């Protein structure tokens, strides 16, 4: 317990978390501080490229693990199954309509790549290594949750179905393509490739992450200001309960698969985190009647900060204890 608190404490006063907090505070105080959309997108392109590339390099140097296939499969199953749990939980804990509940559920099956990135950066600081292919698992977990949520809705008698266009859009979503593409580039070019561009993808990484989290804080704060009306106690409680439940599922999967401590942490983080890019976009197309301020505020304003501040240290502590390292 003490260890968790220390880790959480250290985590809380890292520049990364404080940058996020600064963004939230500035936004709630109605400061006009803002990051231009193009700059925010450029930062996210950098982060996706760097994290994918480094994952690929790590796979190229440690060789492919027999567990890769199984871990990918576990990720896909988790992504597809977690929305069902989330949906059930939402129907118990909140008064959201089936439509809104399904839309929210989809977010919790899918993943937040920034939470993943923040976790890798905590792992690095704590010298805990992890499987490079967890990046690929992250990519694999983006989409299945969307299908589950749409299935939940169609079961409810609503004839709405996934069309081919949407399917393609989801699978070829810019962030998935960049993450997976950079992963393969890193894999193909290996340590040699890394040496060429490490002063770009490694050295400034954490600093860039600070600015990106500043922006996420600004956007989250704006969302909280505008969307606080939808944050009934039940909904709010869900936003904190669900990541914990997700992380436990991820923990189980990680232990079963026999992943490294870092790998287990990342599996927990992926399961615990909620999408705020791919899934919201898909929901606007497939379920336009669902209220975006509910799922955006929950995902970016509640679950993301929870994972960033308390969740990650908790997951690290649990995984460390249970993998016995």
Partner 1 sequence: MQTHRAKRVEITIEAIMQSRLTEAVQKAGITGFTVLPVLGGSGRSGEWTRAGEIGRASGMVQMICIIRSEKLDDLLDAAFSVVERHIGVVSIVDCEVLRAERF
Positions touching a second copy (CB under 8 A) are 13-15, 18-19, 22, 25-26, 29-39, 41-42, 45-46, 49, 53, 125, 168-169, 172-175, 177-178, 181-182, 184-186, 188-189, 193, 196-197, 199-201, 203-208, 210-211, 214
Residue 280's binding partner among Na ion, a second copy, partner 1, none (Cβ under 5 to 8 angstroms by kind) is partner 1
Those residues whose C-beta lies under 8 Å from the C-beta of residue 183, and which sit 6 or more positions away, are 52, 53, 55, 56, 59, 135, 136, 139
Residue 44's binding partner among a second copy, Na ion, partner 1, none (Cβ under 5 to 8 angstroms by kind) is partner 1
What minimum distance in Å lies between the beta carbon of 248 and a second copy? 30
Residue 172's binding partner among a second copy, Na ion, partner 1, none (Cβ under 5 to 8 angstroms by kind) is a second copy
Q: How far apart are the first and last CA of the chain?
A: 16
Residue 18's binding partner among partner 1, Na ion, a second copy, none (Cβ under 5 to 8 angstroms by kind) is a second copy
Nearest-angstrom CA–CA distance, 200 and 189 = 15
Residue 316 near residue 266 (C-beta atoms within 8 A): no
Site of interaction with partner 1 (CB under 8 A): 32, 34-37, 40-41, 44, 165, 215, 218-219, 222, 226-227, 276-277, 280-281, 283-285, 288-289, 291-293, 296
Nearest-angstrom CA–CA distance, 123 and 176 = 23
DSSP-assigned letters across all residues of 132-189 = TTHHHHHHHTSSHHHHHHHHHHHHTT------HHHHHHHHT-HHHHHHHHHHHHHHHH
Query: Which residue, 125 or 241, is less far from a second copy as judged by CB?
Result: 125
Query: Which residue, 151 or 184, is less far from a second copy as judged by CB?
Result: 184
Residue 76 near residue 144 (C-beta atoms within 8 A): yes
What minimum distance in Å lies between the beta carbon of 75 and Na ion? 10
Residue 182's binding partner among partner 1, Na ion, a second copy, none (Cβ under 5 to 8 angstroms by kind) is a second copy
Q: Which two tokens stand for residue 255?
A: 């232990």
What minimum distance in Å lies between the beta carbon of 147 and Na ion? 14
What minimum distance in Å lies between the beta carbon of 285 and partner 1? 6
Query: Which residue, 27 or 110, is less far from Na ion as judged by CB?
Result: 110
Query: Which residue, 41 or 95, is less far from a second copy as judged by CB?
Result: 41
Nearest-angstrom CA–CA distance, 246 and 231 = 21
Query: Which residue, 70 or 281, is less far from a second copy as judged by CB?
Result: 281
What minimum distance in Å lies between the beta carbon of 266 and a second copy? 20
Nearest-angstrom CA–CA distance, 311 and 324 = 20
Site of interaction with Na ion (CB under 5 A): 111, 271, 273
Residue 288's binding partner among partner 1, Na ion, a second copy, none (Cβ under 5 to 8 angstroms by kind) is partner 1
Q: H-type helices in the chain, by residue range?
A: 2-12, 15-28, 37-62, 67-93, 98-109, 113-125, 134-140, 144-155, 164-171, 174-201, 205-227, 233-257, 261-272, 278-286, 292-296, 304-306, 312-323
Cα–Cα separations (whole angstroms), residue 172 to 1, 3, 180: 42, 41, 10
What minimum distance in Å lies between the beta carbon of 116 and a second copy? 18
What minimum distance in Å lies between the beta carbon of 281 and partner 1? 4
Query: Which residue, 162 or 231, is less far from a second copy as judged by CB?
Result: 162
Residue holding tokens 């502590």?
317
Query: Which residue, 211 or 231, is less far from a second copy as judged by CB?
Result: 211
């Amino acid at each position: 317990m003490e260890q968790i608190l220390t880790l959480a404490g250290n985590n809380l006063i890292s520049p990364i978390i404080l940058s996020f907090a600064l963004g939230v505070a500035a936004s709630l105080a109605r400061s006009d501080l803002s990051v231009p959309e193009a700059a925010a997108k450029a930062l996210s392109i950098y982060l996706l490229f760097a994290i994918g590339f480094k994952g690929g390099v790590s796979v190229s140097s440690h060789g492919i693990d027999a567990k890769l296939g199984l871990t990918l499969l576990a990720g896909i199953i988790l992504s597809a199954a977690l929305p069902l749990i989330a949906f059930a939980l939402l129907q118990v804990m909140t008064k959201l309509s089936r439509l809104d509940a399904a839309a929210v559920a989809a977010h919790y099956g899918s993943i937040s790549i920034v939470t993943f990135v923040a976790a890798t950066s905590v792992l690095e600081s704590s010298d805990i290594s992890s499987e490079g292919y967890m990046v690929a698992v992250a990519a694999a977990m983006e989409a299945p949750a969307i299908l589950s949520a749409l299935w939940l809705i169609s079961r409810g008698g609503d004839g709405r179905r996934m069309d081919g266009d949407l399917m393609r859009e989801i699978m070829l979503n810019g962030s998935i393509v960049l993450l997976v593409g950079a992963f393969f580039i890193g894999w193909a070019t290996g340590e040699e490739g890394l040496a060429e561009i490490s002063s770009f993808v490694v050295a400034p990484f954490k600093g860039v992450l600070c600015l990106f989290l500043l922006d996420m804080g600004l956007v989250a704060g704006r969302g909280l200001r505008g969307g606080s009306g939808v944050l009934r106690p039940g909904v709010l409680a869900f936003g904190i309960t669900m990541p914990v439940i997700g992380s436990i599922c991820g923990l189980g999967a990680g232990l079963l698969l026999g992943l490294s401590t870092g790998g287990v942490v990342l599996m927990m983080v992926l399961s615990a985190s909620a999408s705020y890019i791919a899934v919201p976009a898909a929901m606007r197309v497939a379920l336009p009647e669902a209220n975006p301020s509910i799922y955006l505020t929950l995902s970016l304003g509640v679950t993301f900060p929870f994972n960033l501040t308390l969740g990650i240290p908790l997951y690290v502590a649990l995984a460390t204890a249970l993998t016995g390292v």
